[in-house]
Amino acid sequence: MLYPRESETREVRSLDGIWNFVRSDQANPTQGVRDEWYAKELSKSRPTIPMPVPASYNDITTDNLRDHVGTVWYDRKFFVPRSWSKDQRIWLRFGSVHYEAYVWINGQKVVKHEMGHLPFEAEVTDLLSYGAENRITVMCDNALIQTTVPQGRITEVPNDGGMTIVQSYTFDFFNYAGIHRSVHLYTTPRTFIEEVEVTTNLSKDATVGEVFYSVSVNGSAANEADNVLQIQANLYDKDGILVANATSDQKLGGKLQVNPVKPWWPYLMHSEPGYLYQLEIKLLATNDELLDVYRLKVGIRTLSWNSQQFLINGKPVYFRGFGRHEDSDIRGKGLDNALMVRDFNLLKWIGANAYRTSHYPYSEESMQFADEHGIMIIDECPSVDTENFSQELLGKHKSSLEQLIHRDRNHPSVVMWSIANEPRTGSVSADSYFELVANFTRSLDKTRPITAAIAVSNTQDKAGRSLDIISFNRYNAWYSNAGRLDMITQNVIDEAIAWNKRYNKPIIMSEYGADTLEGLHMQPAYVWSEEFQTEVFSRHFKAFDELRKKGWFIGEFVWNFADFKTAQSYTRVGGNKKGVFTRARQPKAAAHLLRKRYFALGRDLDQCSFPEDLFTYIADLIS
Ligand code: GCB
The closest residue, in CA terms, to atom 7 on ligand 1 is 473
Q: How many whole angstroms separate alpha carbon 101 and alpha carbon 178?
A: 9
Q: How many whole angstroms separate alpha carbon 583 and alpha carbon 252?
A: 47
The closest residue, in CA terms, to atom 9 on ligand 1 is 172
Q: Are 115 and 400 in contact (CB under 8 A)?
A: yes
Task: Identify the pLDDT of residue 228.
Answer: 82
Give the model confidence (pLDDT) of 90-148 as tens digits: 999 999 999 999 999 999 999 999 999 999 999 999 999 999 999 999 999 999 999 99
* Parallel/antiparallel/unpaired status of strands 450-454 and 414-421: parallel
> Sorting pLDDT into bands at 50, 70 and 90, what band is 81?
very high
Atom of ligand 1 nearest to the CA of 421: 8
Higher pLDDT: 143 or 221? It is 143
Q: Is 172 in the pocket of ligand 1 (CB under 6 A)?
A: yes
Task: Identify the pLDDT of residue 250.
Answer: 84
Q: Is 473 in the pocket of ligand 1 (CB under 6 A)?
A: yes
- Mean pLDDT computed over every residue of the chain: 97
Alpha helices in 225-354 (DSSP H): 337-350
Q: Is 466 in the pocket of ligand 1 (CB under 6 A)?
A: no
Rg of the chain (C-alpha set):
25
Q: Are 530 and 586 in contact (CB under 8 A)?
A: no
Q: How many whole angstroms separate alpha carbon 541 and alpha carbon 150?
A: 32
What are the backbone angles phi and psi of residue 317, rounded to the nearest 5°?
-105, 135
Q: Is 142 in the pocket of ligand 1 (CB under 6 A)?
A: no
Cβ–Cβ contacts within 10 Å for residue 270, how many? 20
Q: Are 231 and 213 in contact (CB under 8 A)?
A: yes
Expressed in angstroms and rounded, the spacing between residue 358 Cα and the centre of ligand 1 is 10
Task: Identify the pLDDT of residue 249.
Answer: 83
Q: Which CATH number fits domain 192-298: 2.40.30.10, 3.20.10.10, 3.30.750.24, 2.60.40.10?
A: 2.60.40.10
SS3 295: strand
Give the model confidence (pLDDT) of 271-296 as tens digits: 999 999 999 999 999 888 999 999 99
Expressed in angstroms and rounded, the spacing between residue 468 Cα and the centre of ligand 1 is 23
Q: Are 147 and 386 in contact (CB under 8 A)?
A: no
Give the model confidence (pLDDT) of 567-613 as tens digits: 999 999 999 999 999 999 999 999 999 999 999 999 999 999 999 99
- Domains of the chain, residue spans: 11-189, 192-298, 316-606
Task: Identify the pLDDT of residue 64.
Answer: 93
Show the CA angle centred on residue 123, arms to residues 118 and 127, nearest 5°: 130
Q: Is 325 in the pocket of ligand 1 (CB under 6 A)?
A: no
Q: Are 54 and 16 in contact (CB under 8 A)?
A: yes
Is pLDDT at 381 greater than 90 in this prediction? yes
Catalytic residue among 210, 326, 364, 422: 422
Residues 6+ apart with CB under 8 A from 574: 563, 565
Percent of the chain with pLDDT over 90: 96
Q: What is the pLDDT averaged over residues 365-382?
A: 98
Burial 48-70 (b: 16+ CB within 10 A, else e): beebbbbbbbbbbeeeebbebbb
Atom of ligand 1 nearest to the CA of 513: 12
Helix or strand (DSSP H, E) at 368: helix 364-373
Q: Are 105 and 163 in contact (CB under 8 A)?
A: no
Q: Do domains 11-189 and 316-606 have the same CATH topology?
A: no
* Parallel/antiparallel/unpaired status of strands 183-189 and 12-14: antiparallel
Is pLDDT at 391 greater than 60 in this prediction? yes
> Which of 576, 577, 580, 583 to probe ligand 1 with, by most ligand atoms within 8 A of CB?
576
Nearest to 189 by CA among 291, 80, 81, 91: 291
DSSP for 390-447, written as a single string: -HHHHHHHHHHHHHHHHHHTT-TTEEEEEEEES--TTSHHHHHHHHHHHHHHHHH-SS
Is pLDDT at 623 greater than 60 in this prediction? no
Show the CA angle centred on residue 383, arms to residues 377 and 384, nearest 5°: 95
Is pLDDT at 45 greater than 80 in this prediction? yes
Expressed in angstroms and rounded, the spacing between residue 503 Cα and the centre of ligand 1 is 24
Task: Identify the pLDDT of residue 247.
Answer: 94
Task: Identify the pLDDT of residue 225.
Answer: 63
Is residue 422 among the annotated active site residues?
Answer: yes
Is pLDDT at 51 greater than 80 in this prediction? yes
Atom of ligand 1 nearest to the CA of 479: 13
Task: Identify the pLDDT of residue 138.
Answer: 98
Annotation: CATH topology of 11-189? Jelly Rolls (2.60.120)
pTM (2 decimals)?
0.97
* Of the listed ranges 126-130, 450-454, 463-467, 618-622, the one predicted with least confidence: 618-622
Task: Identify the pLDDT of residue 230.
Answer: 94
Task: Identify the pLDDT of residue 86.
Answer: 85
Q: What is the pLDDT averaged over residues 483-490?
A: 98
Residue 322: strand pairing partners = 355, 558
Q: Is 418 in the pocket of ligand 1 (CB under 6 A)?
A: no
Q: What is the pLDDT averaged over residues 44-57?
A: 98
SS3 146: coil
Assigned CATH class of 316-606: alpha beta
